Amino acid sequence: MLKFLLHTCCAPCGIAVIDELKTRHDLTVFFYNPNIYPEGEYLKRKKYVVQICEDWGVKMVDFDYDQTAWSEATKGLESELEGGARCPKCFRLRLEMTARYAKENNFDIFCTTLTSGRNKKAEVINPVGVELGAKYGVKFFETDWKKDGRQEKGRIMVEERGIYRQNYCGCVYSKAYDADKAREAL
């Protein structure tokens, strides 16, 4: 059984993945998402990840909410839209912390639930994970969690459990972008 560290961005993206991996591996969920704004939203998203892990007896690491690190990592890219140049920096920050933690704590492999997101491209996220895996000497598990019916399975699990599903990606700019779109639609 591999000692597996799974970076988890939120419960809707993570629930089907955690369910799948929890019996196959010695699984630990890693919550490091300093991109999420505001703090109340961060705590709300985290609460449901904690709940899933407690319900299923899965280990969880609750890492820092370091908004300064996120702001520095994405500096100069504030006006980018979701899917633009800011997002790979945001992925890298979160995956780098995951890879470093995996190395320091003797994990065999690490991964992220980020590829579950409908607007998150595996071909952008996976190369970042592979590069950081090589840097820290821990294998990165390359996959696209959107495949093989996991999105639908996750959607049903979230509905059945009354889990909160956010309507914006996470950062202050993605929140503003959604608000602008909503205004345009009025």
Binding site residue list for [4Fe-4S] cluster: 9-10, 87, 90
Alpha-helical runs (H) found in the chain: 11-21, 39-56, 67-73, 86-104, 122-136, 150-161, 172-185
d(CA 56, CA 22): 8
- The residues in 8-37 that bind ligand SF4, with binding defined as CB under 6 A, are 35
Closest CA to 70 of 99, 42, 110: 42
Task: Tell me the window of 21-29, 95-103, 145-153, 163-171 that interacts with ligand SF4 (CB under 6 A).
Answer: 163-171
163 binds ligand SF4 (CB under 6 A): no
Taking CB under 6 A as the criterion, the residue among 52, 90, 97, 132 binding ligand SF4 is 90
d(CA 5, CA 16): 16
Applying CB under 6 A, does 86 fall inside the site for ligand SF4? Answer: yes
**Residue (25 or 126) nearer to ligand SF4, CB:** 126
Identify the three-state secondary structure at position 29.
Answer: strand
Least Å distance, CB 24 to ligand SF4, is 27
The reply to whether 53 sits near ligand SF4 by the rule CB under 6 A is no
User: Cα separation of 82 and 171, whole Å?
Assistant: 10
Q: Long-range contacts made by residues 177-180, C-beta under 8 angstroms, separation at least 24?
A: 177/81, 177/82
Q: Is 116 in the site for ligand SF4 (CB under 6 A)?
A: no
Which segments are annotated as binding site? 9-10, 87, 90
Q: By CB under 6 A, which span of 23-31, 79-87, 101-109, 141-149 interacts with ligand SF4?
A: 79-87
Q: Using CB under 6 A as the criterion, what x/- string covers residues 32-51 for binding ligand SF4? A: ---x----------------
- Residues paired with residue 3 on neighbouring β-strands, in sequence order: 26
Taking the CA atoms of residue 47, residue 50, residue 55 and residue 61 in that order, the dihedral angle to the nearest 10 degrees is 180
Binding-site member from 82, 111, 116, 143 for ligand SF4 (CB under 6 A):
82
Where do contacts with ligand SF4 occur on this chain (CB under 6 A)? 35, 74, 82, 86-87, 90, 169-171, 173-174
